[in-house]
Amino acid sequence: VYSDIVGLAGGVSGLAAAGTTSFTAIASPNHALINGIDNLQALADALAGLQNANGSWYWHSNLASPTSSDEDTQTTAYALMALLAADDLAASDYTTAIVDARNWLLSMQTGTGGFMSWPGGTENTEVEGEALQAIVVSAPTAGIPAASTWGLLAMVLIGLAAGIGIIFGANLG
C-alpha cells in the first residue's frame, strides 16, 4: 500500500476533472477503505478522512506507528488539489481540509524558498513544484478583482514602453 494516498488523490482528481460523480463500485480487496465505493463524494470523503489534525497527510495509509517524519509534502499537495477539484461536485464541503492543508504546506517552506519533503527533511525540486502548485491553486481569491484582458494588455504595453525607454535612454545618454 505504499503511496496509496497519492493514488487515491489521483483518482479523486481524475474523476472530478472528468465530471464523473458516480461509477462502478471499486473492487479493491487490498484497500478496504475504498473497496465498494461507487461515487466521487464517498471517495473524496475517504481521502479527507485520512488528513492529519495539523493539515498534512501521511505518505501512505498503512503505517503501524506514524510519526511526524511520515507527514508528506507531496501527498499533502496532491490531496489538497484533489479535494479542491471535488469540492464543487460533492455535497461535502472540503474548505477546512483545503485551508488546513495549504497552511501546513506553507509551514514546510524553508528560508531559502524551497520546501521540505517531510518535517525536518530535505528539499526536493519535484516536491517543491507540487507544493507551489497546490498553494497557488488553493489561494483565497475573495476580494481580489479578476484582471481583465484589456487591463493585462495595458500593463504589458506599459512594461514594454518602460523597458524600451530604459534601454534607449541608457544608450542615448
**CA–CA gap between residue 92 and residue 51 (Å, rounded):** 15
pLDDT for 89 equals 95
**pTM of whole model > 0.85?**
no
Per-residue pLDDT of the chain (173 residues; tens, 9 = 90+): 678 999 999 999 999 999 999 999 999 888 899 999 999 999 999 999 999 999 999 999 999 999 999 999 999 999 999 999 999 999 999 999 999 999 999 999 999 999 999 999 999 999 999 999 999 999 875 444 444 555 555 556 666 665 565 555 655 44
Ordered DSSP codes for 13-70: HHHHHHT--B-SPP--TT-TTTTT--BHHHHHHHHHHT--TTS-EES-S--SS--GGG
pLDDT for 171 equals 52
**CA–CA gap between residue 93 and residue 91 (Å, rounded):** 7
Residue 12: closest CA among 63, 46, 55:
46
pLDDT for 155 equals 57
Yes or no: say if 5 and 62 are a contact pair by the CB < 8 Å rule. Answer: no
Distance, CA of 72 to chain centre: 12
Give the dihedral of Cα atoms 80, 102, 63, 93; nearest 10 deg: -50
pLDDT for 3 equals 85
* Helix (H), strand (E) at residue 133: helix 125-137
